[in-house]
């Protein structure tokens, strides 16, 4: 009887540990995040991130919208965005930057200059 009780407790603990190790992916909260300088926006939703940006070297007068892009977010806040090598916006705009989540904002850091830009959730 005591052995059966011990076995049941061990099974319960193993199941509990298994559930704890099944973590849900980290996500940027759903919403529209606006660039502080008015230079674009990022929409976060269940399908991924949609970027609306101004890229004067690609399309001088109009904003470009691309996405949704799937992504992974690390516990550190680093965002790794997935896209196609056939997508010029992904290659030359999104991939030229490091992206992260600071708990409140999406942060873009230009790799060449180190300059950062915050995208803050729309009120």
Q: What does pTM read for this prediction?
A: 0.75
Confidence of residue 118 (pLDDT cuts 50, 70, 90): very high
**Tens-digit pLDDT profile for residues 5-22:** 776 676 767 665 555 555
How far CA 96 is from CA of 33, 58, 110, 115, in Å, comes to: 19, 14, 7, 12
pLDDT digits (tens, 9 = 90+) for 39-69: 899 999 999 999 998 766 666 677 888 899 9
With residues binned 3-state (H G I as helix, E B as strand, rest as coil), the percentages for the chain, rounded to 5, are 20, 40, 40
- Record the tokens describing residue 123, joined without a space: 């009120």
**CATH architecture assigned to 25-121:** Beta Barrel (2.40)
Q: How do the domains of the chain map onto residue ranges?
A: 25-121
Structure tokens at 59: 């399309």
Which residues are registered as beta bridge partners of 95? none
């Amino acid at each position: 009887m005591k052995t059966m009780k011990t076995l049941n407790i061990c099974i319960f603990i193993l199941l509990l540990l298994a559930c704890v190790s099944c973590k849900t992916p980290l996500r940027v909260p759903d919403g529209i995040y606006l660039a502080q300088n008015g230079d674009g926006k990022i929409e976060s939703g269940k399908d991924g991130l949609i970027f609306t940006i101004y890229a004067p070297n690609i399309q001088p007068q109009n904003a470009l919208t691309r996405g949704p892009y799937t992504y992974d977010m690390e516990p550190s806040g680093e965002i790794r965005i997935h896209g196609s090598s056939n997508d010029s916006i992904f290659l030359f705009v999104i991939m030229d930057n490091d992206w992260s989540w600071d708990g409140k904002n999406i942060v873009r850091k230009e790799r060449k200059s180190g300059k950062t830009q915050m995208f803050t959730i729309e009120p």
